[in-house]
Amino acid sequence: STVFKLYDRDNSGFADQGDTIAAMVTMGHAPEVARQMLTRRCDDGLPNLELFQLLLEECVSFNAGVDIGASGWQKELVKHLLGVLKEFEKRALARGEFMIAAESRHRVKQLKETEELRQKDEMVVRQGTEKSGVAEAHVREAVEFNKAWTTNMSEFELRATQIVQELRDKQEAALVAIVETTRVEAKARVKPSKAVLDLIKTQ
């Protein structure tokens, strides 16, 4: 709306036709195409605020060509508006409208400052989002590590119990084998006396 006020030089509520076409040309349209776009929307070629804004937005969309997102679209709009205001300043100077040209320069300065602040705010938000994302990733990693650690410890404890039991079973089996071997060997070493043998024979 602040840009429109410059183009509405007589405060009639309508922008100047020549200045409007010049703005559209500055934003990338050929003069004849810009004129056709304007006259197709309003017969007298004098756009009101709503139509003026719509025409400039269509010019931005035409130049962007693809979906560049809200932030990208905002940058494109500001870039084109700066070009429009600078061109308007030249036209005002050529007409000898020095106060209007000075006002246009002031609008350029304001627009630049506003856009710089917007980009700084956007960067702060983006950095905050990135930091939040990193923190969330670290939390997820910690949770996954704890889960894996708990699972591994449970498996380790179960396996350790199994190994201990297997060792006990082997030790018991070995002990039984040793006792049996010792008994057999002891029996083999013990020989009956002659008296015992004679007694066995008589029986």
Residue 6 pLDDT level (bands cut at 50, 70, 90) = confident
- Give dist(CA 47, CA 83) in Å, integer: 20
Residue 189's pLDDT is what? Answer: 66
Q: Which residue has the tokens 């939040």?
A: 132
Nearest to 56 by CA among 92, 95, 87: 87
- Per-residue pLDDT tens for 60-117? 777 665 555 666 667 777 777 888 888 888 888 888 988 878 887 887 887 788 778 8
User: Within its chain, how far is the Cα of 87 from the centroid?
Assistant: 38
Per-residue HEC secondary structure of 40-109 comes to HHCCCCCCCHHHHHHHHHHHHHHHHCCCCHHHHHHHHHHHHHHHHHHHHHHHHHHCCCHHHHHHHHHHHH
Backbone angles phi, psi at 134, to 5 degrees: -65, -45
CA distances 85 to 5, 81, 102, 169, Å, are 12, 6, 11, 93
pLDDT band per the 50, 70, 90 thresholds, residue 122: confident
- Determine the pLDDT at residue 142: 77
- Note the pLDDT tens digit of each residue in 139-176: 788 788 778 777 777 777 778 778 878 878 888 888 88
Q: What is the CA angle 19-23-29, rounded to 5?
A: 125
Average pLDDT, the chain: 78
Residues 180-184, mean pLDDT to the nearest whole number = 78
- Residue that has been written with the tokens 């197709």 in this structure: 40
Torsion angle of alpha carbons 8, 10, 12, 17, nearest 10°?
-50
Token pair of 16, please?
A: 């100047």
Any idea how long the chain is? Answer: 203
Give me 35's structure tokens.
């004129």
Closest CA to 25 of 89, 84, 94: 84
